[in-house]
Amino acid sequence: MRIGIVHGRFQPLHLGHLNDYILKAKEKCDFIIIGITNPDPTHTLPDESNLSRTRPENNPLNYYERLVILQDAMIEAGLKQNKFTIIPFPINFPQLLKYYTPEDATHYLTVFDEWGDNKTNVLKRYGLKTSILFKKDISEKDISSTLVRELIVKNGNWKELVPKSTIKCLENYNIKERLLKIRQQAK
């Protein structure tokens, strides 16, 4: 069985994550493992190539909430539950990945910037098999979680950027109020 692995913070999951990354990787394998990075503060370190990734305002959802969002979105996209699983993915501690993932799996990546290059190099350094789905300039990235969070706070049209099931989850999690509270605390 060909096993693929994708990973991300998914803060929140958006259609770029789903259609251009997760589902594209799933086309190349029989089973997909979706890793949630920064699963908890003890497995999160700042990276010089993108320091904003660890700020509280950029990480409003906890691991469990992201797991639920991903699971609902995968089922909504037509994947059967026996074709995927979701795991914590301690990207900041790559030496631990061997305890979370099968060693013969392929780690699929999309690269937009130095952070993507760094991740690819780290995974290779630890002997993990990698495959880059695409490498593009950051200016070619149509959707980002940062954009989705900004549109939520500003009452913009964010709902067209995420799966339908994600809308429901984010509303249930009171994401707008949460984001506003985190921003207020950061001041």
- Predicted confidence at residue 160, as pLDDT, reads 98
> What is d(CA 172, CA 175) in angstroms, rounded to the nearest whole number?
8
Domain ranges of the chain: 3-186
Strand ranges for the chain from DSSP E:
3-8, 31-36, 84-88, 106-111, 129-135
| Model pLDDT for residues 8-47, shown as the tens digit of each residue | 999 999 999 999 999 999 999 999 999 999 888 776 666 6
Nearest one of 112, 129, 133, 146 to 20, comparing CA atoms? 133
Question: Each residue of 156-173: pLDDT tens digit?
Answer: 999 999 999 999 999 999
Residue 33: per-residue pLDDT: 98
CATH class, 3-186 region: alpha beta
| Mean pLDDT value of segment 121-145 | 94
